[in-house]
Amino acid sequence: DFIQESLPEREDLKVRLLAEMDAAMPAHAVIGSSPSGLLPTKLQAGMARPDRLVVGHPFNPVYLLPLVEICGGDLTSQETKDIAAAVYERIGMKVLHVRKEIDGFIADRLLEAVWREALWLINDGIATASEIDDAIRFGAGMRWSFMGTFLVYRLAGGEDGMRHFLHQFGPSMEWPWTKLIGPKLTDELIDTISRQSDEQAGGIDLRTYEKLRDDCLVDLTHALERNDFAAGAVARAHRLRLDGGAADIGSTGPDGRLLTISTPVQPEWIDYNEHMTEYCYLKLFGDATDVVLAKIGAGADYVAAGHSWYTVETHIRHLGQSRLGEPIEVRTRVLAADAKRLHLFHEMVSLRQDAVIATAEHMLVHVDAKAEKSAPAPQAMQDVAQAFIAGQAQLPLPEGVGRQIRMPG
């Protein structure tokens, strides 16, 4: 139904292969191409069905950067664009429709402008490659990762917004600050840039830098995901789509226990020992507790209304290890409850090992958040908690309940 072509940036090669693909593929199938700047109208030249070709231009590393620019040629149908957009969104990408066919599309033209100016700064002896990168990564680059240029400048305009900013700084556009036409790449300039780049790398190999880049992008994406903003909003929406087809979180198993977590071990949870780090266990068990609270009626709306359950005691036991990608589940019991207290016991299970790898025991107290003191939970909430206890009554008390940390002997 859909195939993506990602050949090197050679127009003759792409045109020839796209024509061959067009002849071989079913009539309904859509073809995506990923040039950096080649125009789709030219790429359609040899196709019998040019209406089904669309440019889908991603960014490196494509497995971490969500943006994909969609651009049609003169003969591309709207249906083709819609199908391609749906495919890209389904795999977690952020679709940006290019309104008009243009060399380099949108993002590469912006990158090209920065790149040309950077080359001039080196050519004119103003800054080194390392200094230019520092100017970006310690300055505007941090803002660009979640706010684009226009939103940043809108904020710079204060309460009066972009209009004030343009009136205040618009005249500076006439100043000869930037050149926007690249300098001639003489042998001398190439040697200078190459030498400075080698010095900046400091002897660290390419693969190490690639791993560092990917780790930083993952951490940044998760930070943005917590705020449901920019690339984090795309990642969060994709995760929720995937979760929709996963295990039924909050469901009750045959033995009465609640399934409160079902996930593979994520890359950002791995520590220097190559297994899941300590604080992530607490985070997952905390998330499992939130599922229980939502089931008894203490979800986000309840908290917003001024009441909640606070954890007052936690005991985690680490019984095994979990490694990258390993599927794990948390299964939860409600051991006891009264008007103000809730006693929970979580078991984290490795599905690959078929074994419990960690447990967590929690005592929670119901509070009036505004008064900052304990208070009885609503009777309906108490009744739901008691129903869970009754449904799990046939189970033996879990091993480890009430355990204390102590030295042997």
Q: Where are the beta strands (DSSP E) in 110-268?
A: 258-264
The angle subtended at Cα 217 by Cα 81 and Cα 137, nearest 5°, is 105
* pLDDT tens string 133-158: 999 998 899 888 888 888 888 888 88
Q: Where are the domains of the chain?
A: 2-105, 111-203, 246-391
DSSP per residue, 353-391: TTEEEEEEEEEEEEEETTTTEE-PPPHHHHHHHHHHHHH
- Extract the tokens encoding 6: 């990602």
Structure confidence by residue, pLDDT tens digits, 72-129: 999 999 999 999 999 999 999 999 999 999 999 999 999 999 999 999 999 999 999 9
Region class of 263: left (phi > 0), else alpha (psi between -120 and 50), else beta? beta
**Residue in 392, 297, 383 with CA at minimum distance from that of residue 337:** 383
With tokens 């249906």, the residue in question is: 79
pLDDT given for residue 153 in this prediction: 84
Residue 187 has pLDDT above 70, yes or no: yes
Write the Ramachandran bin of 35: left for phi over 0, alpha for psi from -120 to 50, otherwise beta. Answer: beta
Is-contact 100 82, C-beta < 8 A?
no
Confidence of residue 181 (pLDDT cuts 50, 70, 90): confident
Task: Give the containing element (helix H, strand E) for 70.
Answer: strand 67-72
At the top level of CATH, which class does the domain 2-105 belong to? Answer: alpha beta
Chain segment 241-298, per-residue pLDDT in tens: 776 555 678 889 888 999 999 988 988 898 888 899 999 999 999 999 999 999 999 9
Model confidence band, residue 209 (pLDDT cutoffs 50, 70, 90): confident
Q: Does the reported pTM lie above 0.75? A: no
- 329 — phi, psi (to 5°)? -135, 150
**161 or 306, greater pLDDT:** 306
The domain covering 246-391 belongs, at the CATH homologous superfamily level, to: Hotdog Thioesterase (3.10.129.10)
Helix (H) or strand (E) holding 317: strand 307-318
- CATH code matching the domain that covers 111-203, chosen among 3.30.70.20, 3.40.720.10, 1.10.10.10, 1.10.1040.10: 1.10.1040.10
Residue 290: its H or E element? helix 278-296
Which tokens go with 126?
A: 């103003």
Instruction: Characterize the bridge pairing of strands 355-368 and 341-350.
Output: antiparallel
Each residue of 51-87: pLDDT tens digit? Answer: 999 999 999 999 999 999 999 999 999 999 999 999 9
How big is the chain, counted in residues?
409
